[in-house]
Structures are given as C-alpha cells and as structure tokens.
Structure 1
Amino acid sequence: PDDDDQNFMPTSTTTNPTIDELDKYLKMSIDDQYRVSNPLIFWHHHQDKFPYLAKLARRLYSIPATSSFVERQFSASGLLINERRSSLNPDTVQNVLFVRSIQRTLQYNPNLFSL
C-alpha cells in the first residue's frame, strides 16, 4: 500500500458503550450465588456494572399484571385457524401470532427497544 493510503485510515477507533458492556458481560464468569431462578435478581445486583443490559432485562422479563394478553392471543389464534386454514403447522401459527404481538406492541410503544 502507498503511504497516501494511510491518510484515509482512521487513526482512532470509537467505542460503543453498549457493545463494550455486552462484551464485558459475555466474558464474565457467574458465581454460583447469582445462579438464581429469577434473572431479575441477577440484573438488580449488576445494574451498576451493566446499566444498559439491566434496563433491557427489566423490559424483557417484566410480566403483565393481567391475563388480557393471553386472552387476546387466544382470540387471535381462533381468527387465524379456521376451516380454510385448519392444516396450518403449529409452528407457523405460533410464529404468526408472535409477529403480530410484536407489531402491536411496537405500535403502542415505539421506543420500547431504545435505550
């Protein structure tokens, strides 16, 4: 390579704190005391070290207080599976319902996955 080519090479690398945090988490060894049945306990204990991941975990592991979500899913599956579509593969039905629930969730919470 020519010396002139080196002028176009970046001289410093910019780091992304979220990626750095994820790398740190993936490299850490987890003590047996943190191997609990509730992952939110782990993230509570490590929220200072992993603020982005802890926030994401709280969002992902939060449980709705009502059964309305399940009722809506059951209703949607009844609309999806009818006489014309009675031979749909159960995995296909599950995937369609999952995508619909994500679409509906993002419709009402557009910033859900932003940190």
Structure 2
Amino acid sequence: MMPRTELLKDIIADLRMAASFVTILPVASSKPAGDGAVARATWALPVAGLLVGLAGALVYKMASRFGLTPNLAALLALATTALITGALHEDGLADTADGLGGGRTRERKLEIMRDSRIGTY
C-alpha cells in the first residue's frame, strides 16, 4: 500500500496536470510530463472542468449582484471561461462547424478539422 504522503502528492500532481491540460493557467510542473502522466490524470479532468465552471458561475453571480442583466452576466461568465481555457472548446466547436460545412468527402472534412490554419482561433 502507498504511504499517504505519496498518494497525496500523486493526487495533487494529477490535478495540476489536468488543470494545465484544459486551461492556460501556469499550474503544471516546470519539468516535462513523464510517460503516461496525462493518461493517469484523466480522472482529474472533470475536477478541472468543475473549477472552470465554478469560476464562470462566480462571475455570473457577482455580475448579477451588481445589477447587470442576465444576458450581460452570462456573457461575462462565458468570457471568463473562454479566457481561462484559452477558448479551447469554442475553437473545437468552430473547427467542427468548419469541417462539417466545408468539405464534401469524409477525408476532406477531417482534413479541415485538423488544419490549425483554418478556423476562428
């Protein structure tokens, strides 16, 4: 059985890896990730997503308390999550739309989706 301190260090390392994978926040170790580090940290990806969502919810709640309209508060919350994630999900959605709307064959659609020079980001 693993000692508690080692287990806690592994949990923290996984959380940092997951947060660095889905955000632009500088939370990961300065040394390169070892083999299988991202795969080992996949359990922590929902936790990282929850933290990003909570940040957006907090901004929405604060904006509502300051009397902003629900639409404006939602826009600020969306902008917050886009800033934290580097617009990762928005870019993926745009790539999907580009691919589905831009290619005639399956191969061309996938090529468009994979091309980083095409799209909104």
TM range (shorter): 0.3 to 0.5
* Structure number, greater radius of gyration: 1
Structure 2 length-normalised TM: 0.32
Structure 1 length-normalised TM: 0.33
Return the structure number with greater helix share.
2
